[in-house]
């Protein structure tokens, strides 16, 4: 597949994790006190892989070139709107919707990138943020006939859907893959455990694996080497006579197409699109995902996306009544004290927990979760004695 052994092993690990995600994310039996931490339900599993795609694409821009964009939510939203219009005008089949979302996001990112990349550093970041906020404002108010404004868009019975009429795929208003409903699920019960296998999740997971494979090829290509040179010292690169602008613009467009792909998949999973996907907080979220997982690494953005979405969907649901159940075996005074101490960090306060963890990672693990994993791995790695080296020679440092 054009990968070295290490990269192929990494791709294989990600594929295995995606395949067995319903088992991995549901480690606790139903009805137990810890079942609250199970994340193996379709909606969350889909979001884990879709936002993983979003973060992988952002990492191609930020991780390789060092250009920090605060406007990538615009491409996510544009991809979503393109996908929903394909479902309204053409067919409820997700394939045309996903393809068109990538293409439209690519064209829009080409326009934004051509203007924004005239500046670098903080000025580039502010320009991308401005474009994202303008896009959000247009979608929310001015372009209401196209975007649905405040209420958003969703498929309706009276939509044309030209191909559906010809092929007579389905009269249902749900997204499908050649007739297979994306909401189709099969539940397997093993004792007190329940594992859900969802069609929409596995479609998104397959797309994520392809996106991850392409990102590996980009990272290892001469094009990826040029992007690293831009991040290292763009001015020095320009002094060599090489024009870095086409490379940075290409990285920006590829990153925007990844965001559009994620937006299209979000519509395939949930056929309701609103302007909130283009808000600046969505752009900030993908920045957090990439830095938290490890900017410039291959697997880091996926880990960061999974971590934040898990916090958002699991930790945010823990309320005071659940804490009372957990600490019920303790004396009343200690139980009340623990609930008082823990409650500000869960439920609606999950952002506080995420913020603290993010600060700890930035301070102690600048390389993100990937660096943390590497440090743990080095603890268990046996160190070779110095006299094992042949002829007493040492390897010079780079």
pLDDT above 70 for 55:
yes
pLDDT tens column, 311-351 = 999 888 888 888 888 888 888 888 888 888 888 888 888 88
Interval 2-7 mean pLDDT? 88
Interval 279-294 mean pLDDT? 91
pLDDT at residue 172, as a whole number: 54
The pTM for the full model equals: 0.90
Place of tokens 């994310």: 25
Which band of pLDDT confidence, cut at 50, 70 and 90, is reported for residue 114?
very high
pLDDT at residue 233, as a whole number: 85
Q: Reduced to 3 states, what is the DSSP secondary structure of residue 159? A: coil
pLDDT tens column, 194-224 = 899 999 999 999 999 999 999 999 999 999 9
57's enclosing H/E stretch is helix 42-65
Which band of pLDDT confidence, cut at 50, 70 and 90, is reported for residue 397?
very low
Interval 147-153 mean pLDDT? 87
Q: Are 196 and 183 in contact (CB under 8 A)?
A: no
Which band of pLDDT confidence, cut at 50, 70 and 90, is reported for residue 161?
confident
pLDDT at residue 165, as a whole number: 62
Question: Cα separation of 358 and 292, whole Å?
Answer: 6
Interval 164-172 mean pLDDT? 53
pLDDT above 80 for 50:
yes
Better pLDDT: 33 or 362: 362
Question: Cα separation of 42 and 265, whole Å?
Answer: 14
pLDDT at residue 110, as a whole number: 96
pLDDT at residue 35, as a whole number: 83
Interval 225-234 mean pLDDT? 90
Better pLDDT: 151 or 74: 74
Task: Tell me the domains of the chain and their CATH numbers.
Answer: 5-313 (1.10.3470), 314-377 (no CATH)
pLDDT at residue 377, as a whole number: 84
Interval 96-102 mean pLDDT? 95
DSSP string, 212-256: HHHHHHHHHSHHHHHHHHHHHHHHHHHHTT---HHHHHHHHHHHH
pLDDT above 80 for 160:
yes
Q: Reduced to 3 states, what is the DSSP secondary structure of residue 195? A: strand
pLDDT at residue 308, as a whole number: 93
Interval 122-146 mean pLDDT? 92
Better pLDDT: 161 or 113: 113
With a pLDDT cut of 90, the percent of the chain lying above it is 49
Indicate the range of 75-89, 172-186, 283-297 predicted with least confidence. 172-186
**Per the structure block, which two tokens stand in for 180?**
């297979």
Which band of pLDDT confidence, cut at 50, 70 and 90, is reported for residue 272?
confident
pLDDT at residue 168, as a whole number: 47
pLDDT above 60 for 389:
no
Residue 190: DSSP 8-state: E
pLDDT above 90 for 379:
no
> E strands of the chain, at which residues?
176-177, 180-181, 185-190, 193-198
pLDDT at residue 159, as a whole number: 82
pLDDT at residue 391, as a whole number: 53
pLDDT at residue 383, as a whole number: 58
Q: What are the C-alpha distances in Å from 106 to residues 40, 250, 350, 373?
A: 32, 10, 34, 34
């Amino acid at each position: 597949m054009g990968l070295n052994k290490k990269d192929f092993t990494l791709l294989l690990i990600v594929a295995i994790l995606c395949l067995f995600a319903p088992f991995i994310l549901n480690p606790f039996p139903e009805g137990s006190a810890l079942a609250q931490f199970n994340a193996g339900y379709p909606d969350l599993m889909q979001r884990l892989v879709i936002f993983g795609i979003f973060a992988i694409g952002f990492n191609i821009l930020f991780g390789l070139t060092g250009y920090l964009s605060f406007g990538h939510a615009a491409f996510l939203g544009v991809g979503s709107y393109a996908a929903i219009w394909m479902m309204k005008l053409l067919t409820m089949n997700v394939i045309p919707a996903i393809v068109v979302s990538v293409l439209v996001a690519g064209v829009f990112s080409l326009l934004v990138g051509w203007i924004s990349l005239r500046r670098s550093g903080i000025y580039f970041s502010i320009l991308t943020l401005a474009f994202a906020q303008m896009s959000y404002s247009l979608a929310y108010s001015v372009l209401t006939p196209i975007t649905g404004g405040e209420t958003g868009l969703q498929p309706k019975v009276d939509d044309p859907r030209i191909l559906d009429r010809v092929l007579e795929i389905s009269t249902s208003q749900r997204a499908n893959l050649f007739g297979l409903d994306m909401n189709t699920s099969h539940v397997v019960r093993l004792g007190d455990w329940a594992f859900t296998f969802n069609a929409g999740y596995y479609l998104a997971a397959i797309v994520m694996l392809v996106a991850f494979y392409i990102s590996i090829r980009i990272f290892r290509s001469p094009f990826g080497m040029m992007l690293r040179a831009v991040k290292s010292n763009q001015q020095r690169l320009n002094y060599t006579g090489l024009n870095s602008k086409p490379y940075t613009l290409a990285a920006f467009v590829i990153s925007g197409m990844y965001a559009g792909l994620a937006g299209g998949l979000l519509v395939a999973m949930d056929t309701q699109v609103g302007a909130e996907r283009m808000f600046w907080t969505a752009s900030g979220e993908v920045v957090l995902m990439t830095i938290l997982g490890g900017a410039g690494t291959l697997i880091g953005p996926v880990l960061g996306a999974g971590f934040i979405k898990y916090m958002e969907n699991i930790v945010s649901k823990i309320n005071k009544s659940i804490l009372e159940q957990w600490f019920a075996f303790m004396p009343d005074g200690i139980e009340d004290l623990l609930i008082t101490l823990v409650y500000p960090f869960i439920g609606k306060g999950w952002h506080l927990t995420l913020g603290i963890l993010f600060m700890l990672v930035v301070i102690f693990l600048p390389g993100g979760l990937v660096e943390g994993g590497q440090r743990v791995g080095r603890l268990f790695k046996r160190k070779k004695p110095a006299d094992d080296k042949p002829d007493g020679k040492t390897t010079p440092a780079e």
